[in-house]
């Protein structure tokens, strides 16, 4: 009997222990699983995306649901500043990188005696700043004649002389209008091209911002289908300002993405469609042919109003050959010169326009979202020469 009671006592103890342990194990879990999930406020989707989701079959599938915390923090669509006066605002940045050239030239031209050695130095300074051989010769010849006429020179005369000469070379008379208004009801179509890493995607994003800041509606086309990351990069720019981004499958046909982007722009009655393309070496014939096809396919839908060649100002004369080949394939109508904040070789503005016969229309002056400005020759030259 005692043994019997003993066994029952042991069973009770074991049962009690079991219940206790289960309670201990369950409690912490129940803490995390029991409360109903907090309501997750939906991130405001860009308005146009919302309306048209799924309308174009190449649109990216909706992004996987982000964790609740991220959704709460999803940024509002930004209202970017307008483009007016950008270059003045960024003038200091330009001055920082370019005054060595301007000051050097001013110092040399102010010398009492301008002998051959000094002229050689002037020539060297211009060549080093990527002005290019032919424009440098033209400038030096011109300056020699004008200095002779002046005789003795005051610093302000030298400055005025150099300012006029640089402006002549940059040619303020060139039409630098970015064609962002198409005739009729269709959107203006811009194609952005260039070699790898020059700043195409960044420039596309910055330009979309600035156009939106100017009150236009923009559709972006991610025709760089080589890497998924490229479309994501553009998507980030688009999302910030509420511009829909038309994308295609990775390794898909870039021409078809470009076509779809333009179709979307037309359907949405957008003001501008900007198509970003993959970086490609001008020496790779296959890739250059592909670019030609992108343009031709777009043209089945709408005229391409602007082909922007994005050139990295730090690559100097290398950029020139690239520019020529791109020009042959897609007929460039404007140059976006990037990274001018990081080089003293501002002379490339002169050489590239001269070589290509195409104006610099935009300049990139930093990595910030609003560090892109319509190119203004006078502001550029004044930044180059420093304050009077």
The entry of Mg ion, ligand GTP, none near residue 367 (CB within 5 to 8 angstroms by kind) is: ligand GTP
Going by their DSSP bridges, the two strands 360-364 and 334-338 should be labelled as: parallel
Q: How far is the CB of 372 from Mg ion (least distance, A)?
A: 15
Per-position DSSP letters for 174-188, written without gaps between them:
S--------SSSSPE
Angle between helices 318-330 and 285-299 (to 10 degrees): 40
Q: Which stretch binds Mg ion (CB under 5 A): 196-204, 209-217, 290-298, 379-387?
A: 196-204
* 344, 101 Cβ separation under 8 angstroms: yes
From CA 217, how far away is CA 225, in angstroms rounded?
Answer: 24
The entry of ligand GTP, Mg ion, none near residue 364 (CB within 5 to 8 angstroms by kind) is: ligand GTP
For Mg ion, the closer of residues 169 and 202 by Cβ is: 202
And the tokens for 18?
A: 């079991």
Rule CB under 6 A: which residues touch ligand GTP? Answer: 194, 196-202, 224, 230, 278-279, 338-339, 341-342, 364-367, 371
Q: How far is the CB of 200 from Mg ion (least distance, A)?
A: 5
Q: How far is the CB of 202 from Mg ion (least distance, A)?
A: 8
Q: Does 201 bind Mg ion (CB under 5 A)?
A: yes
Q: How far is the CB of 233 from Mg ion (least distance, A)?
A: 6
Q: Which stretch binds Mg ion (CB under 5 A): 80-88, 127-135, 169-177, 194-202?
A: 194-202
The entry of ligand GTP, Mg ion, none near residue 292 (CB within 5 to 8 angstroms by kind) is: none
The entry of Mg ion, ligand GTP, none near residue 341 (CB within 5 to 8 angstroms by kind) is: ligand GTP
Q: Does 264 bind Mg ion (CB under 5 A)?
A: no
Q: Does 200 bind Mg ion (CB under 5 A)?
A: yes
CA distances (Å), 367 to each of 228, 280, 384, in order?
22, 22, 21
For ligand GTP, the closer of residues 270 and 310 by Cβ is: 310
For Mg ion, the closer of residues 103 and 227 by Cβ is: 227
Give all strands (DSSP E) within 91-232, no chain letters.
188-193, 218-223
From CA 111, how far away is CA 125, in angstroms rounded?
Answer: 15
For ligand GTP, the closer of residues 180 and 198 by Cβ is: 198
Q: Residue with the closest Cβ to ligand GTP?
A: 279
Q: How far is the CB of 49 from ligand GTP (least distance, A)?
A: 22
For ligand GTP, the closer of residues 125 and 380 by Cβ is: 380
Q: Which stretch binds Mg ion (CB under 5 A): 108-116, 195-203, 259-267, 321-329?
A: 195-203
For Mg ion, the closer of residues 268 and 312 by Cβ is: 312
**363 backbone dihedrals φ, ψ, rounded to 5°:** -130, 135
Sheet of strand 188-193, all strands in order from the earlier edge strand to the far edge: 245-246, 218-223, 272-277, 188-193, 306-312, 334-338, 360-364, 372-374
Q: Which stretch binds Mg ion (CB under 5 A): 33-41, 165-173, 201-209, 265-273?
A: 201-209
Q: How far is the CB of 251 from ligand GTP (least distance, A)?
A: 15
Give all strands (DSSP E) within the chain, no chain letters.
188-193, 218-223, 245-246, 272-277, 306-312, 334-338, 360-364, 372-374
For Mg ion, the closer of residues 205 and 347 by Cβ is: 205
| 3 state SS for 250-265 | CCCCHHHHHHHHHHHH
Q: Which stretch binds Mg ion (CB under 5 A): 65-73, 130-138, 192-200, 237-245?
A: 192-200
What's the length of the chain?
388
The entry of Mg ion, ligand GTP, none near residue 255 (CB within 5 to 8 angstroms by kind) is: none
From CA 292, how far away is CA 329, in angstroms rounded?
Answer: 6
From CA 98, how far away is CA 380, in angstroms rounded?
Answer: 9
Name the nearest CA neighbour of 218 among 256, 196, 198, 192. Answer: 192
From CA 121, how far away is CA 346, in angstroms rounded?
Answer: 18
For Mg ion, the closer of residues 201 and 353 by Cβ is: 201
| Helix or strand run (H / E) with residue 308 | strand 306-312
Give all strands (DSSP E) within 40-136, no chain letters.
none
Q: Residue with the closest Cβ to Mg ion?
A: 201
For ligand GTP, the closer of residues 199 and 347 by Cβ is: 199
* Residues binding Mg ion: number (CB under 5 A): 2
By CB under 5 A, name the binding residues for Mg ion: 200-201
């Amino acid at each position: 009997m005692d043994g019997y009671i003993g066994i029952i006592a042991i069973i009770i103890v074991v049962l009690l222990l079991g219940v206790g342990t289960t309670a201990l194990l369950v409690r912490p879990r129940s803490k995390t699983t029991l409360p109903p999930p907090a309501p997750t406020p939906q991130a405001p989707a860009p308005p146009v995306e919302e309306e048209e989701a799924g309308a174009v079959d190449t649109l990216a599938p909706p992004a996987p649901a982000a964790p609740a915390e991220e959704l709460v923090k999803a940024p509002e669509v930004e209202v970017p500043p307008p483009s007016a006066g950008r270059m003045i605002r960024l003038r200091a940045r330009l001055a920082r990188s370019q005054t060595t050239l301007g000051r050097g030239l001013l110092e040399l031209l102010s010398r009492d005696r301008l002998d051959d050695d000094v002229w050689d130095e002037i020539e060297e300074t211009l060549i080093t700043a990527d002005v290019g051989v032919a424009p440098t010769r033209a400038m030096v010849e011109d300056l020699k004649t004008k200095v002779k006429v002046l005789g003795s020179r005051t610093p302000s005369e030298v400055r005025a002389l150099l300012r006029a000469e640089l402006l002549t070379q940059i040619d303020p008379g060139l039409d630098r209008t970015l064609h962002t208004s198409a005739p009729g009801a269709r959107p203006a179509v811009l194609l952005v091209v260039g070699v790898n890493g020059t700043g195409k995607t960044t420039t596309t994003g910055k330009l979309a911002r600035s156009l939106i800041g100017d009150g236009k509606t923009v559709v972006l086309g991610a025709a760089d289908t080589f890497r998924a990351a490229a479309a994501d990069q553009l998507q980030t720019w688009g999302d910030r300002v509420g511009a829909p981004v038309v994308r295609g499958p990775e390794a898909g046909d870039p021409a078809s993405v470009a076509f779809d982007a333009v179709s979307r722009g037309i359907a949405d009655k957008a003001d501008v469609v900007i198509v970003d393309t993959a970086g490609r070496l001008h020496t790779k014939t296959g890739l250059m042919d592909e670019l030609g096809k992108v343009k031709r396919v777009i043209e089945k839908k709408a005229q391409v109003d602007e082909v922007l060649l994005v050139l990295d100002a730090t690559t100097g004369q290398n950029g020139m050959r690239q520019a020529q080949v791109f020009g042959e394939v897609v007929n460039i109508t404007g140059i976006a010169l990037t990274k001018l904040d990081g080089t003293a070789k501002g002379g490339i503005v002169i050489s590239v326009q001269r070589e290509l016969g195409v104006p610099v229309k935009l300049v990139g002056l930093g990595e910030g979202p609003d560090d892109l400005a319509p190119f203004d020759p006078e502001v550029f030259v004044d930044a180059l020469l420093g304050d009077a």
